[in-house]
Amino acid sequence: MTKDKPQGIARGLTNYGDAKFSKYLRRSFASSMGYSREMLDKPIVGIAHSASGFNNCHRHFPELIEAVKRGVLAAGALPIEFPTISLGEVFLSPTSLKFRNLMSMDVEEMVRAQPMDSVVLLGGCDKTVPAQLMGAVSADLPAVQLVAGPMSTGRHKEHRLGACTDCRRFWQQYRAGRIDDQEIDTIEQKLASTAGTCAVMGTASTMASLTEAMGMMPAMGAAIPAVSADRLRMAEATGKLAVDLIGSDRTPKAILTREALENAVTVLLALGGSTNAVLHLAAIAGRAGLSLDLHRLNEISDRTPVLVDLKPTGSFYMEDLHYAGGIPAVMRELRDLLHLDAVTITGETVGDRIEAADPWVDRNVIHEGRAPVRANGGLVALYGNLAPNGAILKRSAADETLFESEARAVVFSSLADLAERIDDPDLDVTADDILVLQNAGPASEASMPEAGYLPIPKKLAQAGVTDMIRMSDARMSGTAYGTIVLHVSPDAASGGAIGLVRDGDRIRMSVAERRLELLVSEEELASRRAARPPAPQVERRGYDRLYHQEILQAEAGCDFRFLVPAPAAAALEKDCLNAAE
């Protein structure tokens, strides 16, 4: 620990024009909480947490916070917890992504404004970990991430359940009439049976895994079940680590380098992880002055096998991944594809961490590189006149027979239009068509919800159709599956070509060529663009106004312009404008 700068309660004194009075007053108020002089002389570890009654994933946080405090106290510092905005995934309207940047601002400003020498970031639900990392990078105080951990699985008859891939599977059966009202009600109460994040390789589990892969948490920190005593021991160890970070140069910007970002992308592809992770990695990278190049993602995807057999694309759950060897075991299989000299928050390199890990692996869950689940990565970016800035397909969750397709578009102009017509028995649609949803991207009123998992039209579902090509400027849950093209950029609300698609247009998708083409002449598209009515003027206030003024497109991680370092933001904005013209 350095002694040449103010520490603990003396950091960042409130300005009353008299520094000694400021310190005297602060210590007086802190004393009212029962702290002794001895404790107030210690350095401070902040514990930024996102517990809330509207966040089921985080209901065990009080116990985790106490474990972190034990670790901090044992290492000789004073732990002080503080709350931030909490983003409970299913409790927010119109979508949690809209508020991720707000939470990142909350984390950044409270870490910077309050007296602490390092900080433990305690989150878990989909947008909380990205928001905490984004805020921590911008504040750049020594920080370490601790996650909620995945929930444990439940049971229904012979079925093992873990929200929410299984909730989609059973809901699909319910829509098709294969299970009744009573059974779906019974299943509803069994899907999420413990505290913790979704038990599959959805967005929360993916981001926890990538945070470990980037080195922002200790080894094995991503997959320990939420209800395990090991999770509490990890919390205690994280508290001790946060004390060790005080005064060090191991800040988020020092850890989150280009090499760490590429390691995260490689692990993402090997996990068959969530498409949402592409957005979040781009946003985290942007805060560090880096960019996530989707062309580079394709290069890495072509050389990276899928090694982990977890739902929604496989058979197992996050608790199985932990007991199978966790992220260190996955990274050991990928060692030839990783930057092994990247430094982690514990001070060891990725290579050191891999070598120190338990060599035992359950090969049912984590496959060898020579016998992968699939030979190439789980995600791929597509480009073309329909997606000049890119779109994302989770090919590990898709039907490969649809990868090279040319088909007719069936267009829904909005979420309301989709809800009104998708189950209409008179809808002109076949299983060979491509469903297109417009005006659900980041700049739309919908604010890019997880609506990209368009339901199979009811009459097709009842006829046994389980997949078809669906595309949109929206997102989908990491727990979802199907041949679904997402994050089409620029979005329709920004003038992107996806907003120009009409019923009956032909669309060509080629995964082999990484292409997504609207087979309409440039002259016709120019005519449609010229005839498009101006966007309606909407009276906005507060955060909604800020959001719509500052939101960037998907390839920039949907961050705000003013939160990204100026040169990077200007380059991203130029690319977006060029693609929309």
126 shares its domain with 77: yes
Domain count, the chain: 4
Statement: residue 578 has pLDDT above 60: no
Half-sphere exposure of 257 (CA within 13 A, CB side): 15
* Distance (Å, whole) CA 453 – CA 435: 10
338 shares its domain with 306: yes
Residue 30, domain member (yes or no)? no
385 shares its domain with 525: yes
At residue 568, the pLDDT reads 61
422 shares its domain with 552: no
Q: Which of 163, 188, 213 is the last residue of a domain?
A: 188
What is the percentage of the chain residues whose pLDDT exceeds 90? 87
Min mean pLDDT across 115-129, 166-180, 251-265 is at: 166-180
58 shares its domain with 183: no
Residue 1 — very low, low, confident or very high, per pLDDT cuts 50/70/90? Answer: very low
The structure's pTM equals: 0.94
389 shares its domain with 345: no
Residue 163, domain member (yes or no)? yes
> Which one, of 364, 393, 363, 370, lies nearest residue 380 by Cα?
393
Residue 23, domain member (yes or no)? no
Statement: residue 381 has pLDDT above 50: yes
Residue-wise pLDDT for 475-491, tens only, equals 999 888 899 999 999 99
226 shares its domain with 184: no
Statement: residue 243 has pLDDT above 60: yes
At residue 415, the pLDDT reads 97
Residue-wise pLDDT for 387-429, tens only, equals 999 999 999 999 999 999 999 999 999 999 999 999 999 999 9
Expressed in angstroms, the distance from the first to the final Cα of the chain is: 54
Statement: residue 206 has pLDDT above 80: yes
Residue 2 — very low, low, confident or very high, per pLDDT cuts 50/70/90? Answer: very low
412 shares its domain with 487: yes
571 shares its domain with 469: no
**Angle 129-573-377 (CA atoms, 0-180°, nearest 5)?**
50
Q: SS3 for 93-160, per residue?
A: CCCCHHHHHHHHHHHHHHHHHCCCCEEEEEECCCCHHHHHHHHHHHHCCCEEEEECCECCCEEECCEE
Q: What is the CATH number of the domain that holds 527?
A: 3.50.30.80
> Which one, of 475, 522, 495, lies nearest residue 578 by Cα?
495
Residue 49 — very low, low, confident or very high, per pLDDT cuts 50/70/90? Answer: very high
Residue 304, domain member (yes or no)? yes
Statement: residue 138 has pLDDT above 70: yes
* One-letter amino acid for residue 299 of the chain: E
Contacts (Cβ under 8 Å, ≥6 apart) of 137: 252, 253, 256, 284, 287, 288
Residue-wise pLDDT for 520-563, tens only, equals 999 999 999 999 988 888 999 999 999 999 999 999 999 999 99
Exposed e or buried b per residue across 305-325, where buried means at least 16 C-beta atoms within 10 angstroms of its C-beta: bbbbbbbbbbebbbbbbbebb
178 shares its domain with 201: no
Q: Which of 138, 169, 188 is the last residue of a domain?
A: 188
116 shares its domain with 131: yes
Statement: residue 571 has pLDDT above 70: no
Residue 174: domain span: 154-188
